Amino acid sequence: MVKIPLATFKKLIKEVGGDMRVSNPAAKEMTVAVGEIGRKIAGDAVTFARHTGRKTVTEEDIKLAYKNLLDEK
C-alpha cells in the first residue's frame, strides 16, 4: 500500500477549513477513508478493464469507477 504523509492530508483539510488546525488522529483517519475509497475505485476499474478483455486499467476505467461510486450514494 502507498503511504501518503499525514502532512498531505493536513494540507488537504486546511484547504477546506482555512485557519482550522488538524490533529494527527484526524489526519490518520482521513488516510483510512481515502484508502478505502481508493481501493473501491481501483477494484471497480480493474473489473471494468477485465470485462472488456484488457490487461491495462485506463483513465476511463478510473473515471467510470469514480462515477459509479458517486452514483451509489
Domain boundaries, the chain: 23-72
Q: Look at residue 29 and tell me whether its pLDDT is greater than 80.
A: yes
Q: Identify the pLDDT of residue 36.
A: 93
Q: Identify the pLDDT of residue 1.
A: 63
Strand intervals (E) in 1-73: none
Distance CA 43, CA 38 (A): 8
Angle at 12 between CA 4 and CA 73, to 5 degrees: 95
Question: Is the alpha carbon torsion for 31, 33, 34, 39 positive or negative?
Answer: positive
pLDDT tens digit string along 13-22?
999 988 889 9
Q: Report the topology of domain 23-72.
A: Histone, subunit A (1.10.20)
Distance CA 63, CA 25 (A): 30
